[in-house]
């Protein structure tokens, strides 16, 4: 690969009173450039990941990044989106620009402000990431889509509520140490497993603790070509960056297999020349706990139908064989759509540089990222390693 992450910045995720899309973008853009040891004049291109879909009245947002520094004026700036994988889509555009030799330093920003939108409209906005002719009338919005996936998985492989509760509890426990996380509370297995007034069923077999949070937030990274990165204060190289897009209608594929995720992982591991067991940790897309469970099978941690055994075994705990979501994942950290993919890469870079604080995985050398848009439609896998 020809690019490295040389700097990053991350806002807190959650309901951020007094913030706007613009203020969030400006904050992380300024800090990421400084963290890379660069000036605004050193940035050759800007890519903004912003899903929006009705969350923000301001729908032409690429140039908001220029508000961070007047010296960014006249730099190429583009907004991209690919549903919940919008942040990774922005990163891939930056990587391609560097690979083409058109830039040395690309500033990538991801942002979303969701909490200012009324609840029913949030559901409508998120449902736009599904295939409306088939899924538009599903009760519960996008949670309803994954509720149907969970119900189908339970029907085929048996009730896996214990495993889903274990995944939720794991991620909430991890999130306690993440200063950026929206929910820093160890809820415990029993709370996540038990239906209650505070943890009602939301869609199908999914309870509130099975669903990621509605969030505001932003993250930014600076991508730098390999030669220039060797002079930076730190450099985390992309050993692999793969993007696999699948059919939008769930009816055209085996939705319990997450085939795009499978292929993305196979291609990324082959490109990096490593095996899954070589990874120190993985940040994966747990928009719902059933997604993380199926992703275990898709990445090769378990055979189809055996993901629950991995979840229950503790293998993916922070001190397990392969820690998954040491950050707390989307479940605890929050899921501001456009920011999520950038956040996952920034947190992975922090881990590999030994700068992850209380969520640090001991001896982390090789990190994997899986960011997903829709129900396994847009699939992005990265494998990263510190080289400086």
Task: Please give the chain's pLDDT, 388 residues, in tens.
Answer: 789 999 999 999 999 999 999 999 999 999 999 999 999 999 999 999 999 999 999 999 999 999 999 999 999 999 999 999 999 999 999 999 999 999 999 999 999 999 999 999 999 999 999 999 999 999 888 999 999 999 999 999 999 999 999 999 999 999 999 999 999 999 999 999 999 999 999 999 999 999 999 999 999 999 999 999 999 999 999 999 999 999 999 999 999 999 999 999 999 999 999 999 999 999 999 999 999 999 999 999 999 999 999 999 999 999 999 999 999 999 999 999 999 999 999 999 999 999 999 999 999 999 999 999 999 999 999 999 999 9
Tell how strand 281-283 and strand 366-373 pair up: parallel
Residue 220 main-chain phi, psi, to 5 deg: -145, 150
Domain covering 3-117+214-229 in this structure, CATH number: 3.40.47.10
Distance CA 281, CA 181 (A): 18
Quick one: CA dihedral 360, 361, 362, 368, positive or negative?
Answer: negative
Q: Confirm if 4 and 224 have CB atoms less than 8 A apart.
A: yes
Q: What Cα–Cα distance (Å) separates residue 164 from each residue in 21, 39, 146, 368?
A: 33, 45, 13, 22
DSSP sequence for 271-335: HHT--GGG-SEEE---SBHHHHHHHHHHHTSS-TT-HHHHHHHTTTSTTSSS-B-TT-HHHHH--
Residue 327 main-chain phi, psi, to 5 deg: -75, -15
Q: Confirm if 354 and 234 have CB atoms less than 8 A apart.
A: no
């Amino acid at each position: 690969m020809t690019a490295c992450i040389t700097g990053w910045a991350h806002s807190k995720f959650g309901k951020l009173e007094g913030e706007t899309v613009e203020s969030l973008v400006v904050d992380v853009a300024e800090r990421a450039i400084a963290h890379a040891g660069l000036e605004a004049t050193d940035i050759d291109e800007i890519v903004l990941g912003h899903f929006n879909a009705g969350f923000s009245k301001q729908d032409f947002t690429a140039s908001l990044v220029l508000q961070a520094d007047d010296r960014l004026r006249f730099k190429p700036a583009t907004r991209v989106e690919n549903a919940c994988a919008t942040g990774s889509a922005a990163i891939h555009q930056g990587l391609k620009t560097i690979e083409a030799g058109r830039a040395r330093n690309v500033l990538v920003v991801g942002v979303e402000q969701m909490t200012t939108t009324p609840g029913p409209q949030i559901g409508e906005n998120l449902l736009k990431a599904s295939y409306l002719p088939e899924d538009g009338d599903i009760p519960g919005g996008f949670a309803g889509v994954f509720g149907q996936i969970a119900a189908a998985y339970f029907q085929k492989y048996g009730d896996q509520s214990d495993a889903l509760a274990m995944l939720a509890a794991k991620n909430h426990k991890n999130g306690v140490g993440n200063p950026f996380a929206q929910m820093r509370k160890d809820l415990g297995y029993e709370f996540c497993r038990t239906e209650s007034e505070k943890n009602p069923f939301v869609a199908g077999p999914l309870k509130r603790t099975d669903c990621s949070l509605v969030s505001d937030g932003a993250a930014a990274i600076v991508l730098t070509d390999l030669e220039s990165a060797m002079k930076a204060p730190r450099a985390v190289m992309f050993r692999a960056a793969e993007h696999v897009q699948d059919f939008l209608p769930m009816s055209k594929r085996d939705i319990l297999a997450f085939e795009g995720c499978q292929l993305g992982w196979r291609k990324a591991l082959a490109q990096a020349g490593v095996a899954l067991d070589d990874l120190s940790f993985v940040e994966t897309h747990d928009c719902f706990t059933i997604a993380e469970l199926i992703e275990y099978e898709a990445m090769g941690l378990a055979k189809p139908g055996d993901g629950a055994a991995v979840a229950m075994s503790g293998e993916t705990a922070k001190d397990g064989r392969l820690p998954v979501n040491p950050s707390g994942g989307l479940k605890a950290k929050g899921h501001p759509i456009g920011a999520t993919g950038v956040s996952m890469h920034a947190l992975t870079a922090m881990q590999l540089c030994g700068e992850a604080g209380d969520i640090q995985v001991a001896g982390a050398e090789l990190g994997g990222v899986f960011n997903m848009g829709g129900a396994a439609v847009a699939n992005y896998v990265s494998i990263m390693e510190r080289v400086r």
